[in-house]
Amino acid sequence: MFTEHEIAIPSVLKVGDGMLGNMGEILKSKDISHVVLYFGNGLIDLFGDRVVNSINEAGIKIHEMKELDSVDIDDIIDLAFSVDNEVQAICGIGGGKVIDAAKYASYLRKMQFISVPTSTSSDGFTSSSASLLVNGKRTSVPAKMAYGIIVDTGVLKTAPVKFIHSGVGDLTAKITSLYDWVYEEQCGATVVDDFALMIAKKAVNSFVRTPFESITDELFLKELVDSLAMSGIANEIAGSSAPVSGSEHLISHALDSFLERPELHGVQVGIATYLMALVQEHRVERIKKIFTDTGFFDYVETLGMKKEDYKKAVDMAPLVKPHRHTYLHEEKYREKAKELIDSDEILNKILV
Ligand SMILES: [Zn+2]
């Protein structure tokens, strides 16, 4: 089949210390003069003044500013159609929830979406789909790629460190998800997009090779954000989440479906990434090194996550996306994964 790509790439990518205070200037440089601002719960107190002052100084009109706490699709539809026609851009400032809500609202209204994550717990700030509640069930719905991504590394540093661990987990996952994708093609179940594969590989490789003293280093955080953004482009090129979401994500989605209190997305995914690297026998040492050096394994050890839950999730994984063909879609690899959960030294240490 002859296919041609037409993809959306953000026009703005500003990552650095103090960026929240530059929002007005950045938007003005793109001729944006009418906006709405949606903040995550409790964030107006923390960041409201900084953002509003900057936007006022740039002479940009704020049509509405409020905190959002819902990802119910019906609420977001109501919200989207309450936005003034004059508005050019919808800014989502905060964590995954408000980013997804703003992303979907701007998609419905064909307005620009400005993604301003205040934590890097997943690649959601740079993906073109949104995870919303549809009939009470968490569902991935099509939305749009951000027109602008603005990240204040100073803010990332002040957030609890678990959000950085989660981002590291979600990015490192590209090692196993890409391997799954190629395997899926070998099994005749899909066709890999060469360019998406290359971009996502470069994103994760550049990140894991970045030297750092501490995970709150400016360079480390910038590399993390840039690499997550790059893998979002790979997702967009492929037209599906396959390059960025493989068997390790299926395990995490399965955990979400039965755990009373799931851990952060990238934390669950990161543990599953290490497990799947062992199953795939691919780049285990690299993953071990990044999770050891960043303190990811030490952090996970404090959570008391259970081996039994991971085993159950391994069994459920193929049912999460039955049409795919990752390693976990084959019984022998599910058995291997469950054996490794019992026998691997690190997994024994970090899971109870
Ligand atoms: Zn993810």
- For position 300, what pLDDT does the model report? 98
The helix/strand/coil state of 325 is coil
Share of the chain above pLDDT 70, in %: 99
Ligand 1 mean position, distance from CA 123 (Å): 6
Give the pLDDT of residue 136. Answer: 87
Query: For 31-44, how does the pLDDT look when each residue is reduced to its tens digit (9 = 90+)?
Result: 999 999 999 999 99
Contact 311, 352 (CB under 8 A): no
Question: 29 CA distance to ligand 1 centroid (A)?
Answer: 32
DSSP, collapsed to helix, strand or coil, labels residue 129 as strand
Please check the confidence at residue 109 and state whether its pLDDT lies above 90.
Answer: yes
Instruction: Please choose, from the candidates 238, 280, 245, 208, the residue with its C-alpha nearest in 3D space to the C-alpha of residue 122.
Output: 245
Give 276-304 pLDDT, tens digit per residue.
999 999 999 999 999 999 999 999 999 99
Is the model's pLDDT at 144 over the cut of 90?
no
Q: Which domains does the chain have, with CATH numbers?
A: 12-158 (3.40.50.1970), 161-350 (1.20.1090.10)
Distance (angstroms) between ligand 1 centre and the Cα of 166 equals: 9
pLDDT tops 60 at residue 1: no
Max CA separation in the chain (angstroms): 62
42 Ramachandran zone, left/alpha/beta (phi>0; psi -120 to 50): left
Calculate how far, in angstroms, residue 43's C-alpha sits from the geometric centre of ligand 1: 23
Range with the lowest mean pLDDT among 131-140, 169-178, 224-233? Answer: 131-140
Give 148's strand partners.
12, 114
Q: How far is the CA of 243 from the centre of ligand 1 (A)?
A: 11
Q: Would the pLDDT of 2 be above 70?
A: no
36 Cα to the center of ligand 1, angstroms: 27
- Which residue, 89, 93, 99, is CA-closest to 60? 89
The answer to whether residue 4 scores a pLDDT higher than 80 is no
Question: What is the overall mean pLDDT for the chain?
Answer: 95
Give the tens place of pLDDT for each residue, 181-191.
999 999 999 99
